[in-house]
Every structure is written in structure tokens, then in C-alpha cells.
């Protein structure tokens, strides 16, 4: 299945999104793991096709054998993911219901503004996500909110030479989570800047790790 753009309406609001689903052969009833991707600030707008230029959608578009479903909503111009929490979750529920995504294997990731959104959304709804992968993400304004994720598998990534969002922001989140009893993973990419798309989303180790994570039955 190709990476297609769609529109979704909920509660008087609309959101555009990209959706990709791998082929299942003849078994169309098999539930599939899904990665929810939240983009950075530069991709806000009303044209989901723009999302194909960066992040995980760019990787998926160039990899016809990508083994996960991928849902990439587009944050409206001038807004932040924190403003669209209910809409994003409603869209996720819509996709789970209509496209046979496995609700026990929903993975959340995001870059920069989307990384902040990933921390925020997961912290508010830890029961929804089997694993979370924040990339180049700012720390939450109240880092202690992340304590709700102490039992959630976390793997955070940050470039050591990031001048847009310093790596210290991820260090704050990881240290806070560990102080709460969590056991998150963190990878600080030596010499890398803010853009880590290739480093993170082209590494098969990440997806092998994700496949091992599932919510309790």
C-alpha cells in the first residue's frame, strides 16, 4: 500500500494525515503494529503531502518494504501538538478501528516539536503506547510529568552538537525518568546536529527494538 494523504473530521475540527500500511498477503484480517509520527514545526500546515519531505514519512516513502503501519498527522499552521491532543487520539482510534492496527503495539515517535509532543502525549496517556521514541526533543515544561512513563519502554535520541534544541533537554527528561524508577534508553549522537532522520529512522536496530515492545494483555 502506498503512502496516501487523507482528511479526518472530529468535534468540528479537521486534520490532515498520511497513512501507510504494509501488505499482508492474502490475510487482510491480521492486525499490524503502528507507529504514530509527530512532525516538527516546519511541517505545520494544511497539506499532508509536505510531510513526505522529512522524518519517518520520508523514510517510509522510499522503503516499500517498511514493516509497520505509519500514521503521520499534520499539525495546523501556528498551532502545537499540545493543542491537538484530543484530535490526534481520535484520529488514532479511527485508524485502529478501520485499518486493523494492533492497539497493543502502538508506538509513538516525533522530532523536535513532535518530540515534545511525543513526551507530552505519552505522559498524559501512558496506557496507549507500547513504546516512545522522542528525537531531538525539548524537555517538558514540567519534566516530572514523565514519571507516568516509568513502566513504558523509552528510547530517546539527540545530537550532541544540536544548537536548535540542546542535548541537555533530553538529559533532563532521561534523568527525571530514571529518578522516578524508569529505565529509559538514550542515544546521544556524537557531532550530530538537530536533524537526525537518517541516523534514527534508517537504523534497523530501532525497529527490531520496537517489535519487542507490547502493552500488557
| Average pLDDT value for residue range 155-184 | 98
The span from the CA of 103 to the CA of 142, in Å, is 28
| Res. 28: pLDDT tops 60 | no
The span from the CA of 212 to the CA of 22, in Å, is 19
The pLDDT score that the predictor gives to residue 161 is: 96
| Res. 111: pLDDT tops 90 | yes
The span from the CA of 109 to the CA of 40, in Å, is 11
Q: Which CATH superfamily is domain 4-23+30-211 in?
A: Alpha/Beta hydrolase fold, catalytic domain (3.40.50.1820)
The pLDDT score that the predictor gives to residue 198 is: 83
The span from the CA of 135 to the CA of 144, in Å, is 19
pLDDT in tens, 173-217: 999 999 999 999 999 999 999 999 888 999 999 999 999 999 987
Per-residue CA distances from 17 to 5, 20, 74, 186 (Å): 6, 10, 6, 29
pTM of the model: 0.94
The pLDDT score that the predictor gives to residue 174 is: 98
Average predicted confidence (pLDDT) for the chain: 93
User: Of 178, 179, 159, which Cα lies nearest the Cα of 169?
Assistant: 159
User: Of 188, 206, 164, which Cα lies nearest the Cα of 59?
Assistant: 206
User: Of 106, 111, 181, 188, which Cα lies nearest the Cα of 144?
Assistant: 181
Alpha-helical regions (H) of 10-143 = 55-61, 85-99, 113-124
- Contact between 134 and 115 under an 8 Å Cβ cutoff? The reply is yes
The pLDDT score that the predictor gives to residue 29 is: 66
| Res. 58: pLDDT tops 60 | yes
Cβ burial, residue 27 (10 Å; 0-12/13-18/19+): exposed
Share above pLDDT 90 across residues of the chain, in percent, rounded to a whole number: 78
Amino acid at each position: 500500500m502506498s503512502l496516501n494523504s487523507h482528511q479526518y473530521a472530529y468535534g468540528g475540527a479537521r486534520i490532515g494525515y498520511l497513512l501507510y500500511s504494509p501488505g499482508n498477503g492474502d490475510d487482510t484480517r491480521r492486525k499490524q503494529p503502528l507507529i504514530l509520527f509527530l512532525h516538527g514545526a516546519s511541517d505545520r500546515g494544511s497539506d499532508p503531502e509536505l510531510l513526505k519531505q522529512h522524518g519517518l514519512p520520508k523514510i517510509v516513502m522510499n522503503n516499500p518494504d517498511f514493516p509497520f503501519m505509519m500514521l503521520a498527522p499534520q499539525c495546523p499552521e501556528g498551532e502545537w501538538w499540545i493543542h491537538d491532543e484530543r484530535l490526534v487520539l481520535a484520529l488514532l482510534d479511527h485508524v485502529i478501528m478501520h485499518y486493523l492496527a494492533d492497539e497493543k503495539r502502538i508506538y509513538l515517535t516525533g522530532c523536535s516539536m513532535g518530540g515534545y509532543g511525543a513526551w507530552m502525549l505519552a505522559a498524559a496517556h501512558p496506557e496507549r503506547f507500547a513504546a516512545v521514541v522522542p528525537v531531538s526533543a525539548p524537555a517538558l515544561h514540567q519534566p516530572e510529568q514523565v514519571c507516568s512513563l516509568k513502566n513504558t519502554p523509552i528510547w530517546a535520541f539527540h545530537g550532541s552538537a544540536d544548537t536548535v534544541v540542546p542535548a541537555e533537554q533530553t538529559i533532563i527528561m532521561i534523568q527525571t525518568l530514571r529518578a522516578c524508577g524508569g529505565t529509559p534508553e538514550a542515544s546521544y549522537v556524537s557531532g550530530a546536529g538537530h536533524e537526525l532522520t537518517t541516523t534514527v529512522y534508517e537504523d534497523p536496530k530501532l525497529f527490531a527494538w520496537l517489535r519487542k515492545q507490547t502493552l500488557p494483555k
